[in-house]
Amino acid sequence: MLKINIEKIIASLIIIICLVFVTLIIFTKWNTTNQPVNPTTAHTKAIETYEYIITKIDPSGYYGKSTNNDTGIYFVNANIPKGTIIQTGDKIRVSFPKGEWDVITNIEKINQ
């Protein structure tokens, strides 16, 4: 006949519960401290915004001239928010991270 030792079973259960508890604590701590850091939120750069008037549209993209000076802009359809239609003569507002004029963060059509 099988002799059951209650004390050994209880001791084993306590050890298993403690190991599970410690594992959960370690996993939770590791999971919260090793989250990837988004560089744009960790060190947010200032945003510069400029206005342009669209001067030309061709299959490769859109061309515009600044409303403040003689600088120009070129961008492709991928930079335009979905559902926005831009035509020649439209005024747009374009946002860039400060000093990074090749990285467009937002294009907004300004109603005339």
> For residues 62 and 46, what is the distance between their CA atoms, to the nearest angstrom?
25
For residue 10, pLDDT beyond 70: yes
- Tell me the one-letter amino acid at 42: A
**CATH fold for the domain made of 47-110:** OB fold (Dihydrolipoamide Acetyltransferase, E2P) (2.40.50)
- The number of residues making up the chain comes to 112
Minimal CA–CA distance to 75: which of 98, 112, 105, 97? 105
pLDDT of residue 33: 52
How confident is the model over 55-80, as pLDDT tens digits? 999 999 999 999 888 889 999 989 99
How confident is the model over 20-65, as pLDDT tens digits? 988 888 877 766 554 455 555 444 679 999 999 999 999 999 999 9
pLDDT of residue 70: 82
Domain boundaries, the chain: 1-35, 47-110
* Rg of the chain in Å (alpha carbons): 30
> For residues 56 and 84, what is the distance between their CA atoms, to the nearest angstrom?
17
| pLDDT confidence bin for 99, thresholds 50/70/90 | confident
Instruction: Please compute the mean of the pLDDT values over residues 71-90 and round it to a whole number.
Output: 91
